[in-house]
Amino acid sequence: MNKLQVSMRGQNVIASPIRKFLPLMRAAEERGTRVYKLNVGDPDLVPPPKFFETIKKYNPASLGYAPSPGIKAHTEAWIKYYRQFGVDLAAADIIPTVGCAEAIMLALQAVADIGDEVLVFEPLYTSYKSFSVMTGIKLVPVLLPIENNFALPDAKIIEKKITKKTKAIVVINPDNPTGKLWSDKELSTIIKIAKKHNLFIISDETYREIRFDSKKPVCLLSHKDAPQNVVVCDSVSKRFSMPGARIGCVVSCNKAIMQSILKFAQARLSAGTLEQLGLVPLLQHSKRYTDQITREYHRRRDVVAQGLSKIPAVFKPAQGAFYQAVGLPVDDAEEFVKFMIGKFTYKGATVMVTPMRDFYISQGKGKNEIRIAYVLNTKDLKQAMDVLARGVEEYNR
Ligand SMILES: Cc1ncc(COP(=O)(O)O)c(C=O)c1O
């Protein structure tokens, strides 16, 4: 007889490494400890008020489904938004999604089947690991060591990982969790490999504008050699500080890919109607807001780097997104985080960061690494970095 049991997928999928310390954190707060939370990439910045103003004005008789390919005004606003990065899109090239998370799921399922392989670079934004279990697509990691500041290895090393089953390469630019910006040379290498082996590139550009090198943000679709191979996964979550809106999009000039994604999208009906409407003016005039938050994250990046310079830590200041990956002088970052939340306080406060072990697919990597998400104002961040430095000293005593 059949047993009533959870699927293998359900059993194998990992819990969010970011959220697994929450019970310890709550206990610390109940003890009266102030916890500086640098663990979740949930922006603290005020989103553009235009979003709420627009939604308030909308007063329909009923709240219907949006069309699966997106509300016309919303997709047109994305098209205008992309033009500033040299990307000219037709309406059929873009479908709004429920955050970048859904865009990635749709893209993965359009480029690969169960048992196929997708190359990723580790450390890796952990949701990809869950998506791999959910879709039955195998992730094949290429290691980017922290000691090399996450630089891309030689093309030959990447090509060695390609098999008959490989269908795509994932690039996250700017990257979570490393804060890496991909150089033009690195992107060209990936495009060359993709073209040579007929692979898709899933380009996760959630943090596109948040880069600290004063260069123009890049969309891989603008690369002259790339378009047919590229599927961009995008989001408003970080760009407009509104992950709660749950809006992103999937974009490709490859018609066959977009036709498949549209059929998937029809099955899940649509992204939110109100949120699509509220985002129209933001997408039409994004630069002022994104310039402003990039300056703020840049200041925070400098505060974090300054704080870390007091610890014998392995790191180079992040180049983009709002994360700093750090090799700490501790034996085990998970134990260190438990110590910080469970026991340690300095001036009544402690710090919550994310251990990076779960950001790796290969066993045994990242044992002493943490990720800092700088989602606090510079004053609190400075204090948090002091607490972190004291915590490292105390942990090693
Ligand atoms: C690299 C990356 N991709 C995708 C996502 C998911 O974004 P969304 O909130 O749009 O689903 C995140 C969220 O942190 C991310 O860091």
Q: Which domains does the chain have, with CATH numbers?
A: 8-46+288-396 (3.90.1150.10), 61-285 (3.40.640.10)
Residues with beta carbon inside 6 Å of ligand 1?
A: 41, 99-101, 125, 172, 176, 204, 206, 235, 237, 243, 248
Nearest to 24 by CA among 384, 343, 389: 343
Distance 357 CA to ligand 1 centre (A): 19
CA 156 – ligand 1 centroid, Å: 30
pLDDT in tens, 64-75: 999 999 999 999
Measuring from atom 7 of ligand 1, which residue has the nearest CA?
Answer: 100
Q: How far is the CA of 250 from the centre of ligand 1 (A)?
A: 13
In this structure, which long-range contacts are made by residues 153-162, counting pairs with CB atoms below 8 Å and at least 24 apart in sequence?
A: 155/189, 155/192, 155/193, 158/119, 158/189, 158/193, 159/193, 159/197, 161/119, 162/119, 162/193, 162/197, 162/199
Q: What is the pLDDT of residues 285-323, one digit of tens each?
A: 999 999 999 999 999 999 999 999 999 999 999 999 999
Please give the structure tokens belonging to residue 20: 């697994």
What's the rounded Cα separation, in Å, for the pair 266 and 135? 18
Please, are residues 182 and 173 in contact by the beta-carbon 8 Å criterion?
Answer: yes
Model-wide pTM > 0.85 = yes
Q: Which atom, in ligand 1's list, is nearest to the CA of 243?
A: 9
Atom of ligand 1 nearest to the CA of 101: 11
237 CA → ligand 1 middle, Å: 7
How far apart are the CA of 233 and the centre of ligand 1, in A? Answer: 9
- Going by CA atoms, what residue is nearest to atom 16 of ligand 1? 176
What is the DSSP secondary-structure string of 46-100?
PPPTHHHHHHHH---SS--PPPTT--HHHHHHHHHHHHTTT----GGGEEEESHH
Instruction: Name the closest-CA residue to atom 14, ligand 1.
Output: 41
Nearest residue (by CA) to ligand 1, atom 13, is 41
What spacing in Å lies between the alpha carbon of 104 and ligand 1's midpoint?
A: 9
Give 102 Cα–ligand 1 centroid separation in angstroms. 9
Note whether 212 and 320 are within 8 A (CB).
yes
Residues whose CB is less than 8 angstroms from the CB of residue 44 and which lie 6 or more positions away in sequence, other chains included: 241, 375, 376, 377
Of all atoms in ligand 1, which is nearest to the CA of residue 247? 10
Closest atom of ligand 1 to 98 CA is: 11
What pLDDT is recorded for position 382? Answer: 98
What pLDDT score was predicted for residue 16? 79
Q: How far is CA 175 from the centre of its chain?
A: 7
- Please give the distance, rounded to the nearest whole angstrom, from the Cα atom of residue 4 to the centre of ligand 1: 34
Give the CA-trace dihedral at 353, 355, 361, 364, to 10 degrees: 160
Structural tokens at position 152: 């891309």
pLDDT in the model for residue 242 = 98
Q: Can you count the helices (H) and strands (E) in the chain?
A: 13, 12
Q: Which atom belonging to ligand 1 lies closest to the Cα atom of 102?
A: 11
Which residue ranges in the chain fall short of pLDDT 70?
18
